[in-house]
Amino acid sequence: MSRTETVFANAAMVLEDEVCNGSICIRDGVIEAIDSGRHVGAGAVDCEGDWLTPGFVELHTDNLERHIAPRPGVDWPHGPAIVAHDSELASVGITTVFDALRVGSLSEANNAYEPYARGLASELLDLRRHGGLRISHYLHLRAEICSETVTEELAQFAAHDRVGIVSLMDHTPGQRQFRDITQYRRYMTGKHGMSDAQFDAYVDRMRALSERVGADHRHRAAAEAHRLGAILASHDDTTADDVTASQAEGVHIAEFPTTPEAAAACQAASMAVVMGAPNVIRGGSHSGNVAAIDLARDGLLDILSSDYIPAALLLAAFQLGDFWEDLPRAIATITLNPARAAGLDDRGRIAPGHRADVLRVGLIDGTPRVKETWVRGSRVA
């Protein structure tokens, strides 16, 4: 059997605890060896002093939804949308992604949105089986607790569907992400064109729905995550009571806690704290919640997610590297830490025996940019 080998030389290798000059040898999709020094042998890829980092591991991105619905009311052909999404992620250094799909829908009476996750997941997984995707894809099912159909939609998935994460998403107005009703009013009237009267009626309906089904849906969604063999995540924990409830359900990942108190409680409960990379870049939350950089200052930030801008991961990590004066620690927030949180022990760092998902990163006018993306030793972007 033929064996393929690639050597990256003269690179600033971002390892788990240090940055050092040297080379790595990849054989048959796996990192075989790491060597120090700047020597470039025959046939090696000369990185010319650029950084060599692990491929990024993205736990929560809405980017696929953006590709299938690029405008309100537009349902773009799903196959091309999935391929475009996959290509975009590869181009910005994401080599493993947990594609976030909403499960849980509403009828017309509650400002309707229709089920879509099962069908889109089947199309994505079929493309993957036929070799149509460049990077590694898993599913992240966003279980909308305040909905009418979350348990029925979750029941449509099976253990073979590569569901890696199920998150408990409760968007009931007046709590968690939308505890500030004034801010929520601005969001809904701006994004969905609601009048003030329509917004008030919507809030009343959603609060009544949450009161009727919220507790049962939360418990059932956690049980479905266990059935699927998925890791359970919370979303927008705000108070100590929120964290206690998450802990009771078996949550291991805390996505976007909205207050410093909640983030500290999550970390104390051994939940990995995820914050948005756009939050780091913008210097604060677009919805008025805690700034990610404040959590970073207090040692309460474990993982970055690109959330709604895939290209945000690299820039935010380098900004964190400057802030912490520790680039390996910052790069770990988008590589090793999310890989570990998701239970993937074969990737996320440059080390012998790990998957050869690696990036060549250089500076263009002072801004970090992915120059090359390699997945299992093959260049994909």
pLDDT tens sequence across 81-135: 999 999 999 999 999 999 999 999 888 665 667 899 999 999 999 999 999 999 9
pLDDT at 2: 44
Q: Which one-letter DSSP state was computed for residue 14?
A: E
Q: What is the pLDDT of residue 178?
A: 67
> What's the rounded Cα separation, in Å, for the pair 175 and 244?
15
Q: pLDDT, tens digit, for every residue of 248-296?
A: 999 999 999 999 999 999 999 999 999 999 999 999 887 678 999 999 9
**Could you tell me the pTM of the whole model?**
0.92
* Rounded Cα–Cα distance for residues 61 and 83 (Å): 15
Q: Which helix (H) or strand (E) holds 375?
A: strand 367-375
Both structure tokens of 295: 């959590």
Task: Provide the pLDDT confidence category of residue 73 given band limits of 50, 70 and 90.
Answer: confident
Dist CA 147 CA 102 (whole Å): 11
Whether residue 60 contacts residue 340, with contact meaning beta carbons closer than 8 Å, is answered with no
Sequence-separated contacts (24+) of 235-242 with Cβ below 8 Å: 235/142, 235/167, 235/168, 235/169, 235/170, 235/176, 235/177, 236/169, 236/170, 236/176, 236/177, 236/289, 237/176, 237/262, 237/265, 237/266, 238/175, 238/176, 238/179, 238/262, 240/265, 242/176
| pLDDT 10s digits, 122-178 | 999 999 999 999 999 999 999 998 888 999 999 999 999 999 999 998 877 766 666
End-to-end CA distance of the chain: 27
List domains and CATH numbers for the chain.
Answer: 1-54+348-381 (2.30.40.10), 56-346 (3.20.20.140)
DSSP string over 48-104: TT-EEEEPEEEEEE-HHHHHH-SSTT----HHHHHHHHHHHHHHTTEEEEEEEEEE-
